[in-house]
Chain A
């Protein structure tokens, strides 16, 4: 992003307060705990935003177990400390987090889109947004600027597209994989970083008790079912070339008219912008 002079200030002229929420990631192949891809990007984005203001206003926050080694790999990105709200494993993190965030009232909360472990439903930013009453921006790729309490955001769309949005502070954003890659994590700083623990009252997540969790089964591939009644139809279905229903053919019109037809179709499909 392009840091500009007023980026580091929120609308009230105070320094921006940013919170990046982190979770324990899981390597897709080995299953080892690691720095989660999207959460790493959330920290990276938070660090770039914080760097453009004078004081360090980035809090990296985790709700769970402070002994997790993977938390250190976030700290290794150059953080002095990581704040951990100590919770039991079965606890519901949303309530604790929303209480904490309500009390500390940051300007921007950054999260990943989906956790790499646990339920990974992607509901965390929305639940926080609902309980704090803040707008939620999903799948952002970058925060372009923050001026007079209004942030200009690039949202990642499928097929590599981007959408520009503006939103007034404070807000919650989930960070997409399209955001800048997180910087490398260094071992020394990771070990030196301070884990600020905070004991929290937690309520267990009872809804999960009835769930059964097994490692993922391979999903059956969908078969192409041919509902032909006769052998001739089946033969045709198996051998016929895939063909459209017979499109429009323009043969003898002048080139200008033909080009106009193509142009109209492109316009109607909305690919001409």
Chain B
């Protein structure tokens, strides 16, 4: 028999056991606690835990047991860390010499990546990883963005390379100019895949135009894609078509999970001039539509009134002046100041506005549920501690009537002068984006 057979036999040490039981024994600490593991084999072979050995003595002398197994946030000086300092920096995904390129053309509604765009970027990285596994080549995901850009988190969305085309000819609706630029991208980069969000915000239009120009047969409404096959909805969404993955894809919402575990370089792509085409479609600008004719759930800009509104005539005037769709909290509706179909919230309408201006609304949870999908929330309230202020991106603490009065006079001034310098804001943002990209490049080096 081998040695380790003997070592399996449990041997009791009656003396040590006796000392361990007797807490008053002179050697008790040395035998039972000191140096001994917290888990001991008992005489019958059962695992015994010694609660006296686990844990540590807390700052005020009370014994604490750490059940987080060392994963707890370290507490320094007995005080909480300042929020933000504990946010870990995600690993940077660096590709110096890409073997291939996957191009994503996002919608960038309002100059920012939409949730749909981020899904498409996630899909792009999924394809890149699949190619990497097949051929051992690494590639980059390049984003081609048109027009004014306000996005600051390109790195966290998975953008390795960024081609930002924001000169004057890309302003407004200019599909012909955009296609000319994309055709140049095709010539220079020979992208492995072209990905577009299949959306009413322009992704479908641009994708279809490019597909017709390049002679590719795209998939539309694709919702499950890998390098071999794609599944897409056909016949008005009533059938699934499974087919070989083409080079140009128009992807449905939630086709893949967005990137959330890495940062990316966002290296700007140097670009020589692109020929300026003379367009046949001329954009004459957006037409003013009656904001109150737009269904509340679809409205882009909502001015919402709550119990904190006293001057209702002023509220309606300013909504008209802003061109905002009117909304209301339940209290305003119950009190009879607004019709029921204007109510926002759990028992009203779930809105998707890009900008939500809440005046005199406290932010009850039933109301907050309804504005969960809003991008920017602005509030005017007398109470700085209410929940709406916690949710809002900009909170103004003051009386609603006075602030709205000031806002009204500002808008009237704005309406009188001819429209100009609307891009003054965007320029500073653009600089910020470029600086961010430079930093990314330095980190990469």
Contact = CB atoms under 8 A, between A and B. Distances in A.
Contacts of A160: 289, 293-295, 298-299
A31 B289 CA distance: 36
Interface stretch (A4-12, A62-70, A81-89, A214-222): A214-222
B68 A127 contact: no
Q: Please classify how large the interface on chain B is, using the bins under 10, 10 to 19, 20 to 34, 35 or more.
A: 35 or more
Contacts of B176: 135
Contact of B236 (A120, A139, A162, A241): A120
Could you say which of A31, A126, A168 has the most chain B C-beta atoms within 10 Å of its C-beta?
A126
Given A210-B244, A265-B378, A158 B200 contact: yes
Contacts of B391: 242-244, 247
A246 B228 CA distance: 44
Interface stretch (B41-49, B341-349, B395-403): B395-403
Indicate the member of B234, B237, B402 with the most A CB atoms within 10 Å: B234
Given A256-B406, A262-B407, A26 B236 contact: yes
A242 B300 contact: no
Interface string A239-268: 001111011111110011011111111111
Given A122-B208, A271-B354, A162 B384 contact: no
Nearest to B210: A126
Contacts of B220: 114, 119-123
A59 to B, nearest CB: 23
B398 A258 contact: yes
A161 B289 contact: yes
Nearest to B237: A216
Contacts of A123: 208, 211-212, 217-218, 220
Given A121-B218, A130-B213, A273-B323, A116 B286 contact: no
Given A116-B235, A259-B410, A165 B394 contact: no
Given A130-B212, A211-B241, A265 B406 contact: no
B163 interface: no
B270 interface: no
B287 interface: yes
A268 B428 CA distance: 11
The 10 A-B residue pairs with the shortest CB-CB distance in the complex, in nearest-first order: A259-B406, A160-B294, A164-B284, A247-B393, A126-B212, A121-B220, A271-B301, A116-B236, A130-B212, A135-B280
7 contacts: A115-B235, A122-B204, A160-B294, A161-B287, A250-B395, A259-B407, A268-B425
